[in-house]
Amino acid sequence: MPAAEIITIGTEILLGEIVDTNTRYIARNLRDLGVDMYRTITIGDNVERIAKSIRDSMHRAEIVITTGGLGPTVDDPTREAVALAAGVESEFREELWEQISKRVSLYGRKPSENQKRQAYVPQGAIALENTVGTAPCFIVEYEVLLPLGEGTGVLSGAIISLPGVPREMETMLHKDVLPYLQERFGIDDVIKVRVLHTSGMGEGSIDEIIGDLEELKNPTVGLAAHTGVVDIRLTAKGKTEAGVDAMLAEVENDIRQRLGKVIFGTDQDTLAGVTLAALEKRGWNLVTLESGLEGRLSQQLRKVANPQLLATENQSLTADELAPALRTLKNAQNADAALGIAFFPGDGEQIAEVVLLTPNGEKTRTLRYGGHPQNALRWAPSIAINILRRAVD
């Protein structure tokens, strides 16, 4: 399979003024094609630095994708940088200018003279019409001789330049780029990804239980830790969809047998959504009470539209006050279940007291967290919701 590198271009991204979402989107789509990702990088609007990064990538990967820097202003450097990296001049394409003019006319305007810059592409490039924006895209196919010590022979590949505007990039990626890559590199495998969500067990503990499966080549198994949740990602590749589904099912069943109820959902499932659905199945409604969490518990639960959540309250409570206040709230709302959590930051260790009231009785837990306090504000509500999930599952 070919390898790829992604170069995000823009000083505003480099300085943290805007968030780069394009790299993640492109990388996930390349992953689904079976393309190996070698590296991603962000470069400011400097022609020489961009060109050097592209040249470096050309010696490592068959696919080099740039995003951004294709606008009409003097600080949109991608066209010039790609031409410099490929060792060619830029050339004006009349058909691209016509496309740009037509696109601009849809807004009731005439194209400005500086927009002619967008009709220039590296000499010999494959031009791609942008049907949702004014910045044409292009592909420059290349061959580079690998230096001694870095391999043998010639590496053939393609530099693909896409817009920085996310919706334009996404449209061009699916309309032109992915079909091009499939044809150019003969990619015809079926690739599927299955994500199992877990809570209540740390990444290290899960690794001890399923570490042998992480050594598999196909399907591959990988872990990704989030705050209060650990994801297990299964990726399988094959010639038929039925064959890929069978491989995923076999490994997923093995993992489920080992981890049991630590797994709370798959793919698009959320911890709050699964928990509230379990409450609904039992016919229970819920009230919550929190202290010291800036409303994070109710925020997580209210992302899920569910009538089982009757009320949420935010008070300033001590550990001793939590349980009595929760009982009062439960009785006042005539609720079946009540979940309360009070968070107390400290030096080096944060403590959260959790109280759960259900028709089956009362449970209390003391949770300790040694990480950053801001992470604890996300971690503690997730752990509390998971305690509720395990009680109603």
Dist CA 189 CA 240 (whole Å): 8
173 and 233 assigned to the same domain? no
Residues listed for the chain? 393
Asked, for residue 85, whether it belongs to a domain, the answer is: yes
Residue 391: is its pLDDT beyond 90? yes
268 with 274: CB under 8 angstroms? no
Predicted pLDDT of residue 237: 86
Asked, for residue 297, whether it belongs to a domain, the answer is: yes
Number of domains in the chain: 3
Using the 3D structure, point to which of 266, 284, 308 is the last residue of a domain: 266
Model confidence at 148, in pLDDT bands (50, 70, 90)?
Answer: low
Which structural domain, as residue segments, surrounds residue 62? 3-184
Token pair listed for 308 = 């089982």
Predicted pLDDT of residue 343: 92
63 and 110 assigned to the same domain? yes
Asked, for residue 144, whether it belongs to a domain, the answer is: yes
251-282 tens-digit pLDDT:
999 999 999 999 999 998 999 999 999 999 99
Asked, for residue 271, whether it belongs to a domain, the answer is: no
In the chain, pLDDT over 90 holds for what percent of residues? 69
Predicted pLDDT of residue 326: 96
Predicted pLDDT of residue 152: 60
Model confidence at 28, in pLDDT bands (50, 70, 90)?
Answer: confident
289 and 385 assigned to the same domain? yes
* CATH number of the domain within which 366 lies: 3.90.950.20
Using the 3D structure, point to which of 244, 266, 288 is the last residue of a domain: 266
Angle at 333 between CA 327 and CA 337, to 5 degrees: 60
Q: What is the largest CA-CA distance in the chain?
A: 77
222 and 322 assigned to the same domain? no
166 and 59 assigned to the same domain? yes
151-181 tens-digit pLDDT:
567 889 999 999 999 999 999 999 999 999 9
Angle at 76 between CA 71 and CA 77, to 5 degrees: 135
74 and 147 assigned to the same domain? yes
